[in-house]
Structure 1
Amino acid sequence: CMPCPSDVAIPRCFEVYNKMHVFGNVIEAKFIYALSMGGAFSGTPSYASQCVRCEECLEKCPQHIEIPDFLELVAEEMEDEELEKRIAIGKKMFNME
């Protein structure tokens, strides 16, 4: 499914989202999502919401997942009003300000 022309980290988005639902630790998953996809380490955001539904990923997906639809679900659950706050906390924790 990669690379994504909109810089969405598709596998990582799915990994964090799936772990949240398997293990039920919503707070931890949202914090990890914020740091991973918020660009805290890389400097480049890679949120699920960056998907523009170009569907290039569909051709590349060996599992034939409807990736744009699933990314929409990820964004709805992971990108809430506390997202920027989580990123700021993470940057402080790792002295990245």
Structure 2
Amino acid sequence: MLSWAINFTAAMICIALILNLWRMVQGPSIQDRILALDTMCINSIALIILYGINMGTGLYFEAALLIAMMGFVSTSALCKYLLRGDLIE
């Protein structure tokens, strides 16, 4: 039963990733594209965690944590660049 729930959730997250990709390509403004990219990062973290639960190992949780940190820093840097036009003050 748990594997069925994990597979169903992974399928729903994959659909969400496809919709985020569509928003990133189709987005009317750069802010929509940044938000879609950040949401894709969160969805990919969720997929990695689900895969780690399915495989029964903790290695994937550490990888998800690293990707989360990189996603936060990259989103913050991109937003700062859009607001000020410069990353270094």
TM-score between the two structures when normalised by the length of structure 1: 0.33
For the pair shown, the structure with the greater C-alpha radius of gyration is 2
Greater helix share, 1 or 2? 2
